[in-house]
Each structure stands twice: as structure tokens, then as C-alpha cells.
Chain A
Amino acid sequence: MQALYAQLLVGLINGSFYALLSLGLAVIFGMLNIINFAHGALYMMGAFCAYFLLSLTGIGYWWALLIAPILVGIFGMILERTMLQWLAGLDHLYGLLLTFGIALIVQGVFQNYFGSSGLPYAIPDYPQIGDWRGLQGGMNLGFMFLPVYRGWVVIFSLVVCIATWYLIEKTRLGANLRAATENPTLVRAFGINVPRMITLTYGLGVGLAALAGVLSAPINQVRPLMGADLIIVVFAVVVIGGMGSIMGSIITGFALGVIEGLTKYFYPEASNTVVFVLMVLVLLIKPTGLTGRAA
């Protein structure tokens, strides 16, 4: 039973990364109509950003959670202004190809300097208040032993997901954003700066990827190719979920992480492939995906 709970927890953590990444993809897809193939590379940059902040300037995990997404987000906005912008109006396959090229460049550069092996990033041991030693150690829940950091990842990413959902679905900014997705020309006529909004949206989506990268650094180590294979699983998650709604991305992400975890417990041989097999099943039954609108 202990092992089952442990795999469930691992599944929830992977699910948090799937949710954060597919959420970012959905936000970007909504505004730019581009499937951001560079998402995995930007996730990796987030993790490396946290690593550099710690090793070069001594800035720790808590500040990295804030600074890394901002820095990578700015990098993303520069990408949008210098390259992606020029693809507006072209077939969206070109966006996929361009971002794929960007991913190759970013991953190649990091691989040149850091090889393929992982760099360790320690779990923060502060604030130390009484018995509480930051996110290190664990607590006994009675039925299982919960490493504090893992619980933190699940709760924190859930909060970020809900906050993003609230921002897009419930605020005035989000309403403008959704309107601009439907009819950019009309929204522009109301005096809203749509190009700037697109740039900021890309920055937000990229920032979410970088945040996921920082969160995963202490668990998965910091590796140049950490995002390369993950992104394909996230694409499968996106196909299953359908990217029709923000909430759909979040729920599908977490659910698939859990299903993957359960597979690892009951039939480990299939744990790498279960998400893809599910994708095939969903496509056969409901081609538009679980929450999707027609393409």
C-alpha cells in the first residue's frame, strides 16, 4: 500500500508539471495560434535559471520561484517580438516549425556547455521556524511518509493553475484577452493594444513553463534535455484534453499524471506509454478531445 501511495504522489507531481505546461501551451495557442514547441526548452531554461541564481549569485529557491519565470518570460517576449510576430497570418504549421528550431538552438547550446548529465539543486532548508526546516524532510501522515517538498509542489502548482484560470476567466484583463482571441480587429478598434497583449500573453505562458522548471529542479536535477521528452507527453495530454478550455488543461494534466502513477504501480512496463495509449483511445472515441472544441 505504501508503494501505491508513493506512486500516486509521483503521479500527482508529474501531473502538476503536465498541467502547468499544457496550461501555458493553451494560453499561447489561444492568442498566437501557435503550438509552442519551444515550451520544453523554456521549461529547462527555468530550471537552469534557478541553478545559475544559486550558484553564481547565491539567490536561493524562494526568490528563484519569482525571478526565473520573469527572466525567462522576458526572453520569451523578445522571441515573440523578433520572430514569432512575423508569422501572423501564415499557416500555423510555420509556428510549429519555427519554435521547433528555437528549441533545437536552446537545447543545443545548453548541451554544449553542460553535457547531458544532471546538475544537482538542493531542496531549500529555510525558513527555519522552530522544528520546521524549510521544505526538507518529511512528515508521517499515518498511512504514508510524505516528503514535504513533494507536497509543496502539488499544492503550489495547483494554486498557480487556479490563479491563472481566475486571471483569464474572471478578470477584465482576461475578458479583453479572450475577446482579442475571437476578433483582434474589433478589440483593437476599442483602443486596446493587441500586439502588446499578444507579447505579454506569450511571456505569461513561457513564465508558467519556467515556473514548472524551477519546481522540478530539486526533484529531477537540472539537465539540458529535461524538457525534450516531456514536451511530447504534454502534447499527448493536450490532444487528450483538447485545449478547448483553461480548466480542461488543468484537470487533464493532473488526471493523466495520476493515471501514469497508477500504471507504474500496477503494470510498470506500460508506464512510459500509457499516456499515448490513452490518446489513441480518446481519439477513437471522441476525436475532438475530452474538453475540446472542433479544430
Chain B
Amino acid sequence: MSALTDDTLPVTPRAMRDEMIVFAAMAVLLGLVPLTGIYPFFVMQALCFALLACAFNVLIGYGGLLSFGHAMFLGTAGYCTAHALKVWGVSPELGILVGIAGAAALSVVTGFISIRRQGIYFSMITLALSQLLFFIYLQAPFTHGEDGIQGIPQGYLFGIFNLAKPTVLYYVVLAGFLGGFLLIYRTINSPFGEVLKAIRENEPRAISLGYKTDQYKLLAFILSGTLAGFAGSLKVFVAQNASLTDVHWTMSGEIVLMTLVGGLGTVFGPVVGAFVIIAMQQYLAGFGQWVTVIQGVIFVACVLTFRRGVIGEIAHYFRRSL
């Protein structure tokens, strides 16, 4: 079995410098968005999905675990945050914490169950668990079934920032995204991240070196699920609703697609992939069901000819790690 990702380049000081330069450029560019005429709602949505895809990438790109059920964290955190804001009337920061706590609790349980099998079995189990949750949310009273939770008040973050103003909301979402991104970046470049890569490359050897690989995989799963939940909580403020589409397994497929297009196991790939896919959905919305077909074609094309993804190809061409 060949490795999932093109990770032949070692982590060198130069690689770290490259990545920090790209990160700074990304932060500045995203920070300037409200000054341009770009529709902020679109960028905010893309940022939420970018964080989600980055969280997903921790598992697949560094742990070699393809979760096909990451929509369950997005949806669970969304429902928790929405319920806390609308029914309990808590402040936004508490609402986000409730969402993150919900996703974290879910990731502990689902992670404990799913890491018991490897490879494609792991993928099928995460998919089945997310479908189980879909049916639970379909029937549970607090989610309002097909209608979802709508008309969520946005409120004042820390009592100061009025989230109903698009520009304020934009910078809050951007800060959330950049914070989450840096946390992920720090994790994958830590000793913990190195062990994860070792497990991806050769699990039996990692075990023989004395690492309790199940614990590492479970921790990575919890981290990934919790951060995906953070993305789901932020998304509630952008979309002002929480609905079943966020939990359905087609959403999990879209998350995989975003990461695949950008580049599995690259630092910036998921961000680019999320922007590409969200832009595509935005501008191709008029084609109706053909969007599904186009997504399928992209999937097939990526797997057959373009396995490194956008960022992966660029990094490979310049022989840099990105």
C-alpha cells in the first residue's frame, strides 16, 4: 500500500518559514475581504467549511484515517449552539462553548467505537454512526425535524461585539478560523503529530516502538471532532439556522471532497479546497442537480489523475512543503 499523501519532504526550518509566510499572506488577504466588494456571507461560509476541512484533514492527512461521518460533528455542534442560543437564551460565547462541548462529547463516544477497526472499516463505521445520529435528530423533538432550528438570535459576543453586523461577524468568524488553524498547525508539528504520521506510515512498527497507537488515534479523533464542532458553532451565527442537511451523510462526502481537491495531508489544501467547492456551489446553483454530477466528476478526476490536489501539486512542483 502506498502512502496516502505525498510527504517525502522533511519538516525543515525552511518549510516552517514557507508555511508561516503563506499563513501571514492568507491572514492579510482574508482580513482585507470586507474592504473589497466580495459578498461577505460567501466568504464566512467558506471559512467555516475551511476550518471543518482542516479539522478533518488532521485525521486523514496525518493519521491516515478516512472519517466518512464528519458531518455529525458539524450538525451536533450546530444543534447544541442553536438550542442554547434560542431556547436557553445564553450569550454567543457560551453558545459556542455548548456546541464545542457537544461535539467533544460525541467525538469521545464515536471515536472510542470507530477506532476499533481500521482502514475502510473505520470509514464505514463513522458513516454508519453519522447516519444513526441523522435518524435520531430526525425524530428528536428539540431539533424540530425537517424544519430545523430557525431564526437564531446572534446577540453580542462578550457583550461588546454586535454579531448582527456583517463586518463584525466576519472578523469574529475569521478570528475563529485563524485560531483553529493555528491550533491544528501547532498540533501536526508537535511530537504528537510526528507520532500520528508514524502510525499512518506503519502502525505495527509504531506499536513495537512502544506507542499506544489507539490512544493517539483516539486523541486525534477527539481533537478533529471538537474542532469540526467549533466550525459548526460558528456556522450557526452565519447561517442563523441549524438543519438536517448539516448532519446528512452527503455533507460528509462534501468535506472529503474539499480536502481531496485542496490536497490530502497538506497544511493549506483544505482551505483552498473549501473555497473552491463553496464557490462552485454558489455559482453553479442554477444548474440544479447537475451540481451533484459535477462534484462526482471532480471526485473521480481527483482520484484518477490529480491525487495530490491543488496545493499538493503546487508544493510538489516547487519541492516545498505547504
Contacts and interface: CB of A to CB of B under 8 A. Distances in A.
A and B bind? yes
Interface of A: 35, 83, 86-87, 89-94, 96-98, 100-109, 111-112, 229, 232-233, 235-236, 238-239, 269, 272-273, 276-277, 279-280, 283-284, 287-288, 295
A89 B307 CA distance: 14
Given A96-B66, A235-B127, 14 more contacts: A91-B2, A93-B123, A104-B296, A105-B300, A108-B289, A232-B249, A239-B121, A239-B124, A272-B138, A273-B136, A279-B128, A283-B116, A295-B119, A295-B121
Nearest to A38: B296
B300 A269 contact: no
Contacts of A98: 299-300, 303-304
B293 A239 contact: no
A90 B120 CA distance: 13
Given A94-B303, A239-B124, A295-B121, A102 B296 contact: yes
15 contacts: A83-B300, A101-B297, A104-B253, A105-B296, A108-B293, A109-B293, A232-B131, A238-B124, A276-B132, A277-B132, A279-B125, A279-B128, A280-B132, A283-B113, A283-B116
B307 A94 contact: yes
A101 B260 CA distance: 12
Provide the main secondary structure of the chain A interface. Answer: helix
Closest 5 CB pairs of A and B: A101-B299, A104-B296, A108-B292, A105-B296, A108-B293
Nearest to A276: B132
A100 B295 CA distance: 10
A140 to B, nearest CB: 36
B186 interface: no
A112 B288 contact: yes
B292 A101 contact: no
B142 to A, nearest CB: 16
B4 interface: yes
Interface of B: 1-4, 60, 64, 66, 68, 113-114, 116-121, 123-125, 127-129, 131-132, 135-136, 138-139, 249, 253, 256, 260, 288-293, 295-300, 302-304, 307
Contacts, number: 132
A238 to B, nearest CB: 7
Contacts of A280: 113, 129, 132
A96 B64 CA distance: 14
A273 B132 contact: yes
Given A232-B131, A235-B124, A92 B299 contact: no
Contacts of B260: 97
A102 B292 CA distance: 11
A232 B252 CA distance: 13
B300 A101 contact: yes
A104 B292 contact: yes
A102 B293 CA distance: 9
B116 to A, nearest CB: 4
Given A35-B120, A109-B293, A276-B128, A90 B2 contact: yes
A90 B1 contact: yes
A103 B125 CA distance: 19
A92 B120 contact: yes
A98 B306 CA distance: 12
A277 B132 CA distance: 8
Contacts of B290: 108, 112
Contact of A276 (B3, B131, B256): B131
A89 B120 contact: no
A105 B118 CA distance: 28
A90 B264 CA distance: 14
Chain B CB within 10 Å, residue with most, of A97, A106, A284: A97
Contacts of A284: 113, 116
A279 B130 CA distance: 12
B129 A96 contact: no
Given A108-B290, A111-B289, A283 B125 contact: yes
Contacts of A229: 131
Nearest to A232: B131
A109 B125 CA distance: 28
B201 to A, nearest CB: 11
A156 B139 CA distance: 35
A83 to B, nearest CB: 6
A87 B302 CA distance: 12
A295 B117 contact: yes
A43 B164 CA distance: 48
B182 to A, nearest CB: 28
B63 to A, nearest CB: 12
A94 B123 CA distance: 12
A51 to B, nearest CB: 19
B119 A93 contact: yes
A84 to B, nearest CB: 10
A277 B136 CA distance: 11
Contacts of B129: 276, 280
Contacts of B297: 101, 105
A35 to B, nearest CB: 5
